[in-house]
Structure 1
Amino acid sequence: MTHSVDHELVQAAAEVARTRCRGDNHTVAAAGRAGDGRIVTAVNAYHFTGGPCAELVLIGAAAAQGVYELDTIVAVGDRDRGVIPPCGRCRQALLDYFPRIGVIVGEGDRIRTVPVTALLPESYVWADHQLDPE
């Protein structure tokens, strides 16, 4: 199932990629849309030890701003690379944190929003995280 594309979100990530991504340490920007409409942005923190992708940094940045639910997320590469899909680790983390999140993927005029579950079929469910606190 494909949903409409949040072009404002794509533009927000592209602007951060264009203005904040510098050198080899920060090469991807992400933007997420909160349930209340706010947009949260972040950049990756590349490091040879496995520094976090922009989508993972965004999860923490959103929480720091009091955003614990995201409706949609997109990642955009620096140097005008456009929308890039989340890696496998990010797909799993997004599913675990936001099981109903939409992810913007695709290139050029073919970008589309798909449920994270479509990007990770037959996925592992982090059971302990999914339990409701008592």
Structure 2
Amino acid sequence: MELIEHARRIVNSHGEGLVHSMGAAVRDQEGRIHGGINLFHFTGGPCAELVTLGNARAHGARELSAIVAVGDEGRGPVGPCGRCRQILFDYHPRIRVLLLTESGIKSVRIIDLMPLAGRWDAVEGTQPFNADAVE
């Protein structure tokens, strides 16, 4: 809930108002929380999750444990788009994503949001994914 509240404060304080804004928060392995907000642009712009990943990395966070994106205007947690899912999966295959489901907020492994996906690696290129290595 702390991550959700952090992201909610970001989007409520810094959202655009005229367009749908998203705030995001991520927790690193040391327990620190990093946040970000999307930059709306007609070409797509960076999603809040990607801004947040960059912010976390800029502050030295290499291992991330959980992430959430929250919409403005009380929309609550929103699942990551396909591009964000792939990037989270590629860089942080152990990360958990907080999602709003029919039965409330759930913490889901990113690998469960990416069935049959290939994982990209900067050195090795695209590789088949071994879920057993992440468990």
TM range (shorter): 0.7 to 0.9
- Structure with the largest fraction of strand: 2
Aligned AA (1:99):
P
**Once structures 1 and 2 are overlaid, which stretch shifts more, 54-63 or 19-28?**
19-28
Count matched residues.
Answer: 125
Of the candidates 10, 29, 37, which is equivalent to residue 23 of structure 2? Answer: 29
Partner of 1:15: 9
Partner of 1:56: 50
Q: Give the 3-state SS of the residue equivalent to 1:90 in structure 2.
A: helix
Higher RCO (CA < 8 A, seq sep 6+): 1
TM-score, scaled relative to structure 1: 0.86
Question: Is 1:95 equivalent to 2:93 in the alignment?
Answer: no
Distance 1:10-1:130 versus aligned 2 partners, 3 A rule: farther
Distance 1:69-1:25 versus aligned 2 partners, 3 A rule: farther
Residue 128 of structure 1 and its aligned partner are, at CA, apart by: 3.7
Residue 127 of structure 1 and its aligned partner are, at CA, apart by: 3.8
Counterparts of 1:1-134 in structure 2, within 5 Å, are 7-24=1-18, 27-107=21-101, 110-129=104-123
**Structure 2: how far apart are the matches of 1:20 and 1:8?**
18
TM-score, scaled relative to structure 2: 0.85
Distance 1:66-1:127 versus aligned 2 partners, 3 A rule: closer
Distance 1:67-1:30 versus aligned 2 partners, 3 A rule: same
Share of identical aligned residues, percent? 45
**Structure 2: how far apart are the matches of 1:86 and 1:129?**
25
